[in-house]
C-alpha cells in the first residue's frame, strides 16, 4: 500500500524552521535581466534562473517563480521553468508557483493537473489561485492538492490598491468577500498539525488587519516586503497573533544583489534574520 504524501503544511513548517522564514521570488523582469548584464531573451532567462537556483536552492525555504515571466518566451521559456522547478526541488527548496490560476470545471481541473499532479513537469509544492469565480470553483485544485500533498495560496487581501473593490466588498450576510475566503481556508485547515496546507495571500503593506481573522491554521504568503515598501518589522502589526505562520516574500530585495552568488546568499540570509527577529 502506497503511503500518503506528507502534506505541504508540514513540509513548509519544517523548511521555515530549518532554513528560515523566507520565500524568494524568481521574477526575471526585463529590467532585472538588464541590471545583471543579460539579454532579454531565452539565454538570459536561463542564465538568470540557473544562477538564482544554484545560489539559493540549498539555503532558502521557498522559491516563488512568477510563471508569467517565463511564459512570455513561449515554449522555450516554459522549458527553463521546468528545469528550474526540478533543480530547485533537488536542492531541497519548496516551489510555490505564482500563476494565480482561477477558472471553473474542467478548465480548473486542467490548471490543477498542470501544477499539482506529481507526473507533471511543472509539479510544484504549492500554487497561487484566484477564488473570484467563487471559492467552490477551486474545488478541483483543492482535491488534487490533498491527494498529492501539495498546497494552495488563495488570493485574500492583496497589496495592490485595486484589490480592495472586490476583496473588501460586503456580502448580504455582512461579511466581506475577503473574510469569507479566510473562513473557507480555516475550514480546509481544521485539525491539521503542525500547519494546514491551504494558505492565503495577504499583503505586508496593508497595515493593521485586526478586523480580519487571519488565524486560519494555514500559511499566509506576505508579498510587499522591499520594493513595495514594507519591512519585516511591519509583520507583527499586520498579522498579529498569526505572524508565526507568515511566509514573507522578497524578490527584488534579494535579486538586485546578483549575479554574484555570494551577494545573493548574503542578502537572503539578512532578510531571513530580519524576519526571525521581527516574529520571535
Catalytic residue numbers?
100
* C-alpha closest to that of 248 among 212, 208, 229, 275: 275
Sign (positive/negative) of CA torsion 136, 168, 230, 244?
negative
23 DSSP β-pair partners: 62, 249
Judged by DSSP in three states, 101 sits in strand
Residue 181, C-beta contacts closer than 8 angstroms, at least 6 positions apart: 131, 135, 154, 155, 156, 167, 200
Distance CA 169, CA 172 (A): 10
**Which residue's entry shows cell 492538492?**
145
DSSP state of 271: H
State the Cα–Cα distance between residues 153 and 201, nearest whole angstrom: 6
DSSP state of 176: B
Whether the Cβ atoms of residue 129 and residue 138 lie closer than 8 Å to each other: yes
H runs (alpha helix) in the chain: 8-19, 30-35, 42-56, 68-71, 75-90, 105-116, 139-148, 164-167, 177-188, 235-239, 252-255, 261-279
Amino acid at each position: 500500500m502506497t503511503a500518503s504524501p506528507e502534506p505541504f503544511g508540514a513540509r513548509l513548517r519544517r523548511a521555515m524552521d530549518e532554513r528560515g522564514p523566507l520565500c524568494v521570488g524568481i521574477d526575471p523582469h526585463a529590467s532585472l535581466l538588464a541590471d545583471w548584464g543579460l539579454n532579454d531573451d531565452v539565454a538570459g532567462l536561463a542564465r538568470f534562473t540557473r544562477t538564482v537556483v544554484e545560489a539559493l536552492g540549498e539555503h532558502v525555504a521557498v522559491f516563488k517563480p512568477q510563471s508569467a515571466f517565463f511564459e512570455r518566451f513561449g515554449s522555450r521559456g516554459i522549458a527553463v521553468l521546468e528545469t528550474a522547478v526540478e533543480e530547485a526541488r533537488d536542492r531541497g527548496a519548496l516551489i510555490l508557483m505564482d500563476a494565480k490560476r482561477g477558472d471553473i470545471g474542467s478548465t480548473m481541473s486542467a490548471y490543477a493537473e498542470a501544477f499539482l499532479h506529481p507526473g507533471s513537469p511543472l509539479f510544484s509544492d504549492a500554487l497561487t489561485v484566484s477564488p473570484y469565480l467563487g471559492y467552490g470553483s477551486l474545488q478541483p485544485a483543492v482535491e488534487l492538492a490533498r491527494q498529492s500533498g501539495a498546497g494552495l495560496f488563495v488570493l485574500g487581501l492583496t497589496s495592490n490598491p485595486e484589490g480592495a473593490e472586490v476583496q473588501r466588498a460586503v456580502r448580504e450576510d455582512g461579511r466581506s468577500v475577503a473574510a469569507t475566503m479566510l473562513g473557507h481556508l480555516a475550514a480546509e485547515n481544521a485539525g491539521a498539525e503542525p500547519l494546514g496546507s491551504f494558505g492565503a495571500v495577504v499583503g505586508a503593506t496593508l497595515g493593521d488587519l485586526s478586523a480580519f481573522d487571519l488565524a486560519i491554521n494555514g500559511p499566509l504568503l506576505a508579498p510587499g516586503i522591499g520594493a513595495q515598501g514594507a519591512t519585516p518589522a511591519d509583520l507583527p502589526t499586520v498579522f498579529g497573533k498569526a505572524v508565526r505562520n507568515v511566509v514573507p516574500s522578497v524578490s527584488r530585495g534579494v535579486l538586485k544583489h546578483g549575479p554574484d552568488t555570494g551577494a545573493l546568499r548574503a542578502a537572503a540570509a539578512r532578510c531571513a534574520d530580519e524576519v526571525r527577529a521581527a516574529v520571535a
